[in-house]
Structure 1
Amino acid sequence: MPEESEFPAIVRVVGEALLGGKNDAEFYRGLTDLDRTLTVFDGPQPVGSTTSHGFTMTLPGGPRPVAAVSAVGVWPTHRRRGILSALMRRQLADIRARGEDVAALFASEGGIYGRFGYGPAAAAVSFTLPTRDAALRPDAPRDPALRLRLLDAADARKEIAVVHQAAAPQRVGEFQRGDAWWTRVLRNPPGNPFSDLRCAVAEDDAGPLGYVLYRTRQTWDDHGVADCALRVEELYATAPAAHTLLWEHVLTRDLVTTVTCDMAAPDDPLFHLLADPYRARRRHVDNLWIRLVDLPSALERRSYAAPVDVVLEVADRHCPWNAGRWRLTADTAAARCRPTDQEPDIRLDTAHLGAAYLGGTRLGGYLAAGLLTEVAPGAVQRLDTALHRADLPYCGNVF
């Protein structure tokens, strides 16, 4: 664990490794638990670091503790010396010792974290939508009892926190935000070409049912015609009619010609509400990566969509306690995962199980690519069926 006085230098290491701009050590200190931070030194100089946040994240089966790994970086002159591998191994052992059986992260590069047992478990989409093409379906759910209030985001903090707290358990991958994380979400960074954050709250007489955070940018074309942009930062709602009302608000703002969103769930209600979904130009990107730190515990605490009885032979280089053969027996009520000497039905890497854990990635893709071995015909299909979820996992806040 580093000392308090060393934190600014650690922030500089991570910022340099990730090619960041000016790094605000005081701001990031509010988000960082030094007890969960690991640092490698070359003499007095930090040359590598990683941390994790203790989140309550929604997983299949319900919210529970997850280690949210963040701020991973090695000083550029000290790459290729085993620093990252040492940090990852030690961090995984510490996470296990805390009793957290799952770790999650956002990957800066797709080729790094698979080596350490993480698998791409969720996706997101960014999209651009011209407002002239943004009509919603006539049968979109609407509720005349709902109304909108527009205000500065900071003034809506308590109300939107209530909405998010209620919405997060409904989406696998979301985590409950503390005060420090709300400060980050509602921050107006200097030099942003867009406006300060605005908030529209959808509510009825019982209270708030949804909100959208967005920024605008005022521009005019060469003929003096408004060509303004609106960027949605996030939208959460606990009722379908609130989704409709909030999307209608941002898509019909006067002077706005283009609405964009850098990160939305692939199955966001908007893509079903649009009269012509093709008008939203979408680009898919990875979202959460998942690592099973304590494999039997993680599999036993998960919910399953169908009964399954399968023997897994798991390779795990960095968490050797996970390696070996495990018999997973589960139904829609409970699961059991125990060591076994039985012949395996599937041979795979722990990263494959991490990718499939949230129910958004199919093991069948790895099978088709020849990256796992199906010994018993149909075993991968049966396991994929058991891991399936009707909704797609997604995390709306990069940590």
Structure 2
Amino acid sequence: MTKTSEPDPTPVPAPDWTVRGIDRDEFPSVARVVGEALLASDSPQGRTERLRPLMDAHGYDRFLVAVDGDEVAGSVNSFRFEMTMPGGPRPVAGVSGVGVWPTHRRKGVLSALMRRQLRDLRDRGESLAALWASEGGIYGRFGYGAASMEAELTVARPHARLVPDAPRDPALNLRLHYVDEVRDRVVEVFRKLAPTQLTRFQRADVWWDRVLADTPEARGSFGGLKVALVSSADGPQGYALYRTRAEYDQAGWHSELRVHELVAGTPAARVALYDHVFNRDLVAKVVVENTAVDDPLWNLLADRQRISAVPTTGLWMRLVDVPAALAERPYAVPVEAVVEVADRYAPWNAGRWRIKADEVGADVELTDEAPDLSLDVSHLGAAFLGQHTLSARVAAGVATEHTLGAAARLDAALRVAHAPVCGVIF
């Protein structure tokens, strides 16, 4: 049974900004602000036309704007995703469309928007929010924690050899297609496998339009988008979306094959896809984007030291409702602890919470007992996916351990079997 705290009675100073929702006709003003904040190269009109299908599909009821008179000074949006969290798929608010007009920066616009959004998400019954950050220094103060890492892996062709015992199934059939020929089968594979891969979200058609876009802008200096599809007698088992770029000089071929997404339902299907991309003629190097930090390639490549990895921060997680978020996920080992949480922007989360958890879930209740651990809500968000630890925050001095070993015990309970990978910036 989960008990939530009452809102903090301490009054919060009213912001100078009017924060409200929008309708469809106001979206061009929002697109103008977000594009300028992110230094977008397209025109406000072009940006509106590009994003309109996405917004029409999701609706405008989750947009918030801060207005200065009749002028939109800032905006924030969230998509309601079905995203795989520890324990399985659940609703997650995918925060996006964040921007402040340049002349209104550092005046409290974003703070007013984020505070209102958190309240709205809680009122909707959504306990978790996630986002991709354009700058890493922005969102920690709003309670978001950097919770996952993804990596781009590069392997030079002479070293792209798999281990001898890599599982191969001669019954599998691999065929190369252009994307418009097999879109339905790609979608089928992903729909089945997304619930098994941490932080994947089910993609509506408008998201597949973005992932599978094959416009000149999407291609850049590369060729058309191709699909390597591997199937068995039971149907499609996996796919790799990739492009190639041909380069040649007097020293020979320097061509690149870039994998945008590789999804496989079985080890043998994954090996078939890696065998294909590593053995394309004339290719000098293969780049695999958007991989989990524990991608199987690390254990499949015969010489793992030949992998050049470029890690990047992935999702930032925010516990909108601390007791609900902690209660709804399973734990690797039983644990019991009192955690004191500070939360400036969602005061209903602030307090001491007794967590009694096991492999099914957790009971989370307010308590007056002495805390075993004190931390900001952002550190709980960073540890929620099991990839980063609370112990590291204690070691850094940004969280305080009052009971020796409390952080390590919670880390062991929060552990997950495989690292998260989202793969799509929203």
Name the residue aligned to 2:28: 8
Name the residue aligned to 1:18: 38
Name the residue aligned to 1:71: 97
**Deviation at 1:368?**
0.3
Please list the CA deviations of residues 212-251 of structure 1 after superposition, one character each: whole Å capped at 9, or x if unmatched: 001111221245x222111110000110001000011111
Question: Which secondary structure does the structure 1 equivalent of 2:339 belong to?
Answer: strand
Letter in 1 for 2:223: S
Name the residue aligned to 1:96: 122
Name the residue aligned to 2:240: 212
Name the residue aligned to 1:233: 260
Name the residue aligned to 1:122: 148
Is residue 319 from structure 1 mapped to residue 346 from structure 2 by the alignment?
yes
Question: Which secondary structure does the structure 2 equivalent of 1:64 belong to?
Answer: strand
2: CA distance, partners of 1:190 / 1:41? 36
Please list the CA deviations of residues 237-293 of structure 1 after superposition, one character each: whole Å capped at 9, or x if unmatched: 110001000011111111111111332111111121100111110011110110000
Calculate the TM-score normalised by the size of structure 2.
0.91
Please list the CA deviations of residues 290-322 of structure 1 after superposition, one character each: whole Å capped at 9, or x if unmatched: 000010000000110011110011000000000
Letter in 1 for 2:50: F
**Superposition RMSD in Å:** 1.2
Name the residue aligned to 1:357: 384
Structure 1 residues 38-47 or 231-240, which shifts more?
38-47
Q: Which residue, 147, 150, 156 being the options, matches 2:182? A: 156
Letter in 2 for 1:211: Y
Name the residue aligned to 2:88: 62
Letter in 2 for 1:28: L
Name the residue aligned to 2:162: 136
Contact 2:81–2:93 (CA under 8 A) maintained in structure 1: yes
2: CA distance, partners of 1:204 / 1:317? 53
Structure 1 residues 386-395 or 345-354, which shifts more?
386-395
Question: Which secondary structure does the structure 2 equivalent of 1:175 belong to?
Answer: coil
Name the residue aligned to 1:110: 136
Structure 1 residues 186-195 or 337-346, which shifts more?
186-195
2: CA distance, partners of 1:16 / 1:261? 31
Is residue 386 from structure 1 mapped to residue 406 from structure 2 by the alignment?
no
**Deviation at 1:149?**
1.3
Is residue 371 from structure 1 mapped to residue 371 from structure 2 by the alignment?
no
Q: Which residue, 250, 272, 288 being the options, matches 2:315? A: 288
Structure 1 residue runs of 4+, over 4 Å off?
A: none
Name the residue aligned to 1:274: 301
Question: Which secondary structure does the structure 1 equivalent of 2:35 belong to?
Answer: helix
Is residue 180 from structure 1 mapped to residue 203 from structure 2 by the alignment?
no
**Deviation at 1:333?**
2.5
Question: Which secondary structure does the structure 2 equivalent of 1:229 belong to?
Answer: strand
What is the number of residues matched between the two proteins?
Answer: 398
1: CA distance, partners of 2:173 / 2:283? 21
**Deviation at 1:189?**
3.5
Name the residue aligned to 1:299: 326
Please list the CA deviations of residues 352-383 of structure 1 after superposition, one character each: whole Å capped at 9, or x if unmatched: 10001011111010000011111111111111
Letter in 1 for 2:54: L
1: CA distance, partners of 2:83 / 2:136? 23
Q: Which residue, 171, 178, 194 being the options, matches 2:222? A: 194
1: CA distance, partners of 2:124 / 2:250? 60
Unaligned runs of at least 5 residues, structure 2: 1-20
Name the residue aligned to 2:78: 52
Calculate the TM-score normalised by the size of structure 1.
0.97
Letter in 1 for 2:26: E
2: CA distance, partners of 1:378 / 1:266? 27
Question: Which secondary structure does the structure 1 equivalent of 2:133 belong to?
Answer: coil
Structure 1 residues 85-94 or 18-27, which shifts more?
18-27
Question: Which secondary structure does the structure 2 equivalent of 1:182 belong to?
Answer: helix
Letter in 1 for 2:244: T
Please list the CA deviations of residues 325-359 of structure 1 after superposition, one character each: whole Å capped at 9, or x if unmatched: 11000111231001111111111110010001011
Letter in 2 for 1:58: T
1: CA distance, partners of 2:179 / 2:299? 27
Letter in 2 for 1:201: L
Question: Which secondary structure does the structure 2 equivalent of 1:162 belong to?
Answer: helix
In percent, how many aligned pairs have the same letter? 52
1: CA distance, partners of 2:405 / 2:395? 13
1: CA distance, partners of 2:120 / 2:302? 50
Is residue 30 from structure 1 mapped to residue 49 from structure 2 by the alignment?
no
Letter in 2 for 1:20: A
2: CA distance, partners of 1:345 / 1:293? 22
